A = this chain, B = another copy of it.
Amino acid sequence: MTSGTIYGVGLGPGDPDLMTVKAHRLLTGAKHVAFFRKAGRSGRARQIVEGMLPTGVIEFAMEYPVTTEIPLTDPRYNEVLSEFYAKCTAHLRELALAGEDVVVLCEGDPFFYGSFMHLYTRLKDDVAVDVVPAITGMSAAWTATGAPITWGDDVLSVLMGTLDKETLTKRMLDADAIVVMKIGRHLDKVRDALRTAGKYDRAWIVQYAAMEGQTVQKLADLEGKVTPYFSIVIVHGEGRRP
C-alpha cells in the first residue's frame, strides 16, 4: 500500500479569495482535514474554509491544551505542548501510513511563525509532507495600509511584541521598515519602544487584515485595546525611489 501525504496548506491571511489555486484545489478535494483550535472555539483556520470543504470530509480538531494559562517561561508549558504535538502527530502519521492524504489547515504561511511547524518537524522523517506556502498576515496588513512596505535597499525587520522593550527598541532603531506581530497585551510596550526609536508617528496598526472587520489607522489614533491575535503594527520604509 502507498502511504498518503500530509499537506501543510497555508490559507493566507483570511480572505478565501487570497488563497492559492493549489490550496483551493486541495481543500475542495480533501477527504481528511486537520486544524488547530482553542478548546470551545471553532478555530480560525477552520472558519476560513467554512462552506468550502466537500460533503463527508473527516475533520480532526487539534485542541490546544493550554495557551496563556501557563507562562512561556514555565518548563511545564513546553512539556504540555510537546505532549500535545506528539499526540496530534501520532494520529496524522497513522492516517498517512494507512494510505490517507490529510490537509492540515494553516493560517498565514505555514513556515512563518506557524503552529504547523511543530507537526512538520515531528512528521517529516516518517511520511511525505508537502508544505504549501501562502500570503502572510503581514503582507495583507501592509497592503491594507495602501502604501508599499519596502523600497530600494530598505531593511525590513519583523518583530514579536513578546520581546523585551530594549530589544524591540534596538531592532526598531536599526530597521527601515518594521512589522510587529503578537501585540495583544504588549501594546503599551510596543508603543514605548516605537517612541524611543523615534518611529511612533510613522506607525500604523492594522486589525483583522484581509478579514471581516478590517481596520487600518495610525497607531497614535488608536484608543483602547487591540484584538490579541490579529493586530499588526506597520512602519513603512522610506528608501530610494525614482
Contact = CB atoms under 8 A, between A and B. Distances in A.
A18 B133 contact: yes
Given A136-B139, A170-B174, A242-B82, A150 B112 contact: yes
A120 interface: yes
Interface residues of A, number: 64
Contact of A20 (B19, B148, B151): B19
Contacts of A16: 21
A142 B109 CA distance: 11
Nearest to A120: B148
Interface in A178-199: none
Contact of A162 (B110, B117, B136, B153): B153
A13 to B, nearest CB: 8
Interface in A94-118: 109-114, 117-118
A5 to B, nearest CB: 14
A167 B111 CA distance: 27
Given A77-B242, A157-B155, A242-B78, A19 B21 contact: yes
Contacts of A159: 155
Given A21-B17, A153-B160, A147 B242 contact: no
A62 B162 CA distance: 44
Contacts of A149: 111-112
Interface string A126-143: 000001111110011011
Nearest to A108: B139
Contacts of A132: 18, 143
Given A124-B146, A135-B135, A170-B174, 15 more contacts: A17-B22, A18-B21, A18-B22, A20-B20, A20-B135, A21-B24, A82-B242, A85-B242, A112-B139, A112-B150, A117-B151, A134-B135, A150-B158, A155-B158, A157-B175
